[in-house]
Structure formats: C-alpha cells, structure tokens
C-alpha cells in the first residue's frame, strides 16, 4: 500500500523537503567533530525554540521516553504529587505516578474541558506536602489547551516542581518555560515542528535538577536516565550512548526552518489554519469536540462524530477513498481529528481536511453542507 497523499494526522505529520534531505545526511561517528558541532548547534536551536535559558536535554527516543524519564527522575516512592487530567495523556501520567509509588492527588475534568487554575491553587493550598505537579499543555487527543501560563506561577509560589507535556504545542503556539516558571518541559519533534518522531527535547530548570539530586530513586546508568545526560554529557562532554545521528540532523533542520520563519509567524500560521478548519467544520453543520473555542489547541481540530458512526469507519473511508490520513481520538471520545501542524498548517491543507471529512461523512449518509464548509475555510485563509 502506498502512503497517504495527505497526512493530516495529529502527528507524526509531514516533513518538509529540507528536513527529509537532512534525515538522509551521511551517518557519521558520534565523536566526529562535525557531529559534535552539529549536536551543539541543534541543542542551541532547540533552546531558541523553547525560548529558555535553562538546560536542554535531547533524549534519543520518541517523546514518551522524555515524559517517563522526567517523572522517574523527580518522583520518589511516597512523594505527594498533583496530576492534572483533562485528557488521555494527562490521565495516563497519573497512572505512571501511581506506578512509581507516588501519593497522587488529582484534578480530573471531562476530556472536552480544561483545568481551572483556581482549583490548582486550592489543592496546593490544602496540601503543602505536594512537591510535583504534572500537566499537559496541549491535550492533542481532545484538541484542547490547559492554562499552563497561569498554572506555572501558582506551582512555583507553592515550591512545586512542574512536569509539562508540551509535545504538541512547542513551535506551534506560545510556550514560555522561563516566563511561565515551568521546570521540566517535554516536547517531540513530530508535531508542530514537523520533524522525525525519534527524538525528544526537554528544558530543565535548576529547581528541577535540585529536586532530582535529592532523589535516590532517580535512574542512573539507564536508557531512562535524565541524570546520565546531565552528568555525562552536559557536565562531562561524553555521550551516555550513541545518539540517533539521523534524527539529530532532522531535528536541526526542522528547528532551523521554524527559527528562520520566526516563532511568532509560526504561531500565527497555526492559529489561522486552526481557525480555517474550525470554521469549515462548523459551517458544514458538524460540532467541534471541545466545550468552547477559548480552550482549543491550534495544532489539531477535534470534531465530534454524529451518532452511529465510529472514528475507525470514518477514518478508513477518508483514507481509502480520498487518500487523506486523519486521526482518531485515542480514547478521548467519539471524534476524529484533522491535524494542522508544521507543514500542514499551511495554505490549502485545512481545506483538504474539511472537504475530505465532509465528503466521507456524506458518503456514509450524514447530511453535511460540504460547499459551505469549504467556503468558510477559504474565507479565513483569504483574509489579508
């Protein structure tokens, strides 16, 4: 089977030709001075994308590796943690925290809503023993955004170290670890940066390193060890093991592109693609999945499916008949998602997504106003 003509998924998403070319660069020895130079350049570019003065750690695996490594580094058995759950990834982090032996307090909201910072403040006031807070910025499976800009300073005032999943927001929407006082932020390259899905980038604050230093359970000499990267690479200039050479080249290329474009321009581009997609979906007569537009993430549009249809059915039809790959809700609800991240947050991609979804639903017997949807999406894209 050939790959989809349009990968409008919620990540991994399409890579630019420059990034694809970089992924095909020669594989070199990891202590070749040329590779060390490329690695350091890549770290610097990732630092600029994160807009942080803190440490940058690249871990050689998909973003889930970074999310697990961050938690294992800070969490001791018996440690009181607050987990914010507004979707599949947030809920999953709570399960991890419990598996690592933490005492978990949880704020849970339905998967089409966002967490209220006032409630975070209340729980932290009531439980001064809490040391760590975990939150997902952009809950990709729900297409929603948590107010991390407000939650960060609340946690910091309570002396709480934050672990933030910004996998699908970095590079595509405002994200400011330093200004928002966030401690460990974990991103992936395969979402808004339109890079390869084999590497995870993390920003780590001094407060996070201080808490890790007090944790005898923090992994060492392990693929999961954040400390190995700190001690051996950041402080010692030796890799704990061979980095994923091709992925590092790919990551450098996609960071270069977004920095040359300008982060603010990239944010605006993602916001516009999201607006085009949302307006298109609504004009077709369909419903957006999140409770309200003010909590929507701009990397993907989650569309509630009409009664009687499943996401598998709809996605298979869109893929087979129209060559377009879209995503399901990964268990968040009966929904499909049109991604607009990186390359696909450009030009006509949102129109393709809207039209393909609309026509597929019509084929499956739903009354949808496809023309109205396409016109509404185009109206947004045609704004000067």
Ligand X SMILES: *Cc1c(COP(=O)(O)O)cnc(C)c1O
Binding region for ligand X (CB under 6 A): 11, 62-64, 89, 136, 138, 140, 165, 167-168, 188, 191
Our CB check for ligand X shows the closer of 66 and 373 to be: 66
Closest separation in Å from C-beta 149 to ligand X: 17
Phi-psi group of 350: left, alpha or beta (phi > 0 → left; psi -120 to 50 → alpha; rest → beta): alpha
Q: Do residues 314 and 360 touch, judged by C-beta distance below 8 A? A: yes
Our CB check for ligand X shows the closer of 226 and 368 to be: 226
Q: CB nearest ligand X: which residue?
A: 140
Phi and psi at residue 124, to the nearest 5°: -70, -35
Quote the tokens at residue 130. 């809490």
Closest separation in Å from C-beta 141 to ligand X: 7
Closest separation in Å from C-beta 302 to ligand X: 12
Burial 49-61 (b: 16+ CB within 10 A, else e): bbebebbbbbbbb
**Residue whose token pair is 């401690």:** 183
Phi and psi at residue 159, to the nearest 5°: 70, 25
Closest separation in Å from C-beta 148 to ligand X: 12
Phi-psi group of 49: left, alpha or beta (phi > 0 → left; psi -120 to 50 → alpha; rest → beta): alpha
What gap in Å lies between CA 61 and CA 70, rounded to an integer? 13
The DSSP code for 233 is: I
Closest separation in Å from C-beta 63 to ligand X: 4
Closest separation in Å from C-beta 169 to ligand X: 8
Our CB check for ligand X shows the closer of 170 and 355 to be: 170
Our CB check for ligand X shows the closer of 190 and 279 to be: 190
Closest separation in Å from C-beta 165 to ligand X: 5
Our CB check for ligand X shows the closer of 90 and 243 to be: 90
Our CB check for ligand X shows the closer of 11 and 290 to be: 11
Our CB check for ligand X shows the closer of 63 and 107 to be: 63
Strands (E), the chain: 6-7, 55-59, 80-85, 103-108, 130-136, 138-139, 144-145, 161-165, 184-188, 200-204, 287-288, 300-304, 324-325, 327-328, 335-339
């Amino acid at each position: 089977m050939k790959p989809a003509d349009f990968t409008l998924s919620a990540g991994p998403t399409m890579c630019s030709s420059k990034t694809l070319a970089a992924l095909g660069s020669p594989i070199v020895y990891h202590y070749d001075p040329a590779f060390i130079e490329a690695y350091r350049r890549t770290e610097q570019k990732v630092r600029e994308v994160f807009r942080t003065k803190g440490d940058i750690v690249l871990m050689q695996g998909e973003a889930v590796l970074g999310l697990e490594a961050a938690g294992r580094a800070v969490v001791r058995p018996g440690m009181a943690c607050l987990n914010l759950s507004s979707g599949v990834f947030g809920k999953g982090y709570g399960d991890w925290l419990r598996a690592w032996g933490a005492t978990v307090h949880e704020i849970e909201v339905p998967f089409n809503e966002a967490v209220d910072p006032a409630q975070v403040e209340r729980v932290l006031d009531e439980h001064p023993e809490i040391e760590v807070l975990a939150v997902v910025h952009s809950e990709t499976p729900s297409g929603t955004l948590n107010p991390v800009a407000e939650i960060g300073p609340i946690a910091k005032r309570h002396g709480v170290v934050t672990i933030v999943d910004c996998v699908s927001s970095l590079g595509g929407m405002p994200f400011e670890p330093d200004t928002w006082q966030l401690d460990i932020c974990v991103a992936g390259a395969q979402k808004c940066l339109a890079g390869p899905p084999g590497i995870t980038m993390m920003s780590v604050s001094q407060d996070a390193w201080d808490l890790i230093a007090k944790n005898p359970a923090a992994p060492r000499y392990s693929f999961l060890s954040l400390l190995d990267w700190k001690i051996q690479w950041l402080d010692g200039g030796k890799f704990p093991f061979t980095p994923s050479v091709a992925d590092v080249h790919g990551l450098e290329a996609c960071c270069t592109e977004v920095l040359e474009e300008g982060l603010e321009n990239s944010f605006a581009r993602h916001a516009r693609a999201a607006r085009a997609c949302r307006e298109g979906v609504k004009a077709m007569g369909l419903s957006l999945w999140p409770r309200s537009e003010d909590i929507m993430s701009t990397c993907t549009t989650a569309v509630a499916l009409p009664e009687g249809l499943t996401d598998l059915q709809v996605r298979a039809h869109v893929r087979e008949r129209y060559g377009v790959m879209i995503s399901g809700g990964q268990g968040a609800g009966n929904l499909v998602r049109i991604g607009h991240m990186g390359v696909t947050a450009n030009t006509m991609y949102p129109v393709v997504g809207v039209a393909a979804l609309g026509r597929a639903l019509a084929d499956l017997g739903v009354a949808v106003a496809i023309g109205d949807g396409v016109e509404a999406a185009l109206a947004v894209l045609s704004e000067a």
